[in-house]
Amino acid sequence: MSAATPALLAALGSAVGWSLYDLFRRFLAGRMTAWTLVVWVTLPALPLILLWGALGEGWRIDDGYLAPGLASVVLNIAANFLYFRAFQLSGLSVTLPMLSLTPVFSSLFGALALGEPLTARASAGIACVVVGAFRLSTGGGRRPFASVEPGSLVMGLVALCWSATLLLDKLALARSSTPTHALVLNAGVAIGGLAALLARGRGAELRAVRGSFGILALAVVAGVVALATQLVAIQSIAIGLVETLKRGVGGLFAVVWGRAFFDEPVTPSKLLAIGLLVAGVALILV
């Protein structure tokens, strides 16, 4: 697969966009609760997506869109809830590594449901990224799972949900324009987040956004760009490869952001993990 193809470049741009999105959300996470953050990074994105649709390919929904489109929304809301629940049940060291499985799940979904084959080189790249991301998220510990923790099982379900959303997104995009599906996803998750807050009588928490408008604006723009380029990429590239690039590039930048903004050390274990991530991404791009 040539690195010069527009779709592959879109996938790479999406991976960088998600990494920036994660960085900005990390800054915001210290200022507001989880569901408040979900609402504020999705709701303000709607005007940008409306502008994209008006200036771009417009709005289109064909027969058969609602099932995959709405299913993706439901899974995205469920994944957000389970993501935060996993951290409540168990520590980071036994939960976060489970997200390293997303390229594996995405590749399996793509192969079984969409008939997307993977070359030996791409499979080797996926394996490198999975091992590197797992090692990076566990800090290089030899026994990250001393026992089966409920939080790790929940986070495994999160990885499964997020992988399935890529499959559903690809099916939905065959029956709609890209801005249309992006609008449905953002609006659906925003409504889900609002419902979660209001159902618990915690609507007042939305006021926590005061004083954070600058970093929130950066997060919203990064999120829209990341989602838009991802939706463009999965229309032409195997969803397993798109997810692998996202995980690999995200892992690399996580180390950079951690060192630059949070004074996190770069250990030999992290350098080994980075080497695996670089090798995996290179196998896919070259």
Q: Where are the domains of the chain?
A: 6-285
Confidence of residue 270 (pLDDT cuts 50, 70, 90): confident
CA distance 24 to 17: 11
Q: What is the mean pLDDT of residues 20-29?
A: 91
Q: What percent of the chain has pLDDT over 70?
A: 93
Helices (H), the chain: 6-29, 34-42, 45-55, 66-89, 92-95, 102-114, 120-138, 150-173, 178-199, 213-234, 239-262, 268-285
- Say which range, 2-11, 106-115, 172-181, 241-250, has the weakest mean pLDDT: 2-11
What local confidence, expressed as pLDDT, does residue 133 receive?
86
Compute the CA torsion angle 143, 146, 151, 154 (nearest 10 deg). 70
CA distance 108 to 273: 24
Which two three-digit tokens encode residue 179? 């801005």
Please give the Cα distance from 266 to 226 (Å, whole number): 27
Residue 82 confidence (pLDDT) above 50: yes
Q: Which residues pair with 176 in a beta bridge?
A: 61
Closest CA to 94 of 35, 134, 38, 53: 134
pLDDT value at residue 3: 44
User: Which of 2-16, 24-38, 40-54 has the least mean pLDDT?
Assistant: 2-16
CA 129 to chain centre: 15
Residue 219 CB coordination number (10 Å): 25
Token pair recorded at residue 115: 């008939």
Q: Which residues contact 2 (CB under 8 A, 6 or more apart)?
A: 8
**pLDDT-based confidence at residue 148 (cuts at 50, 70, 90):** low
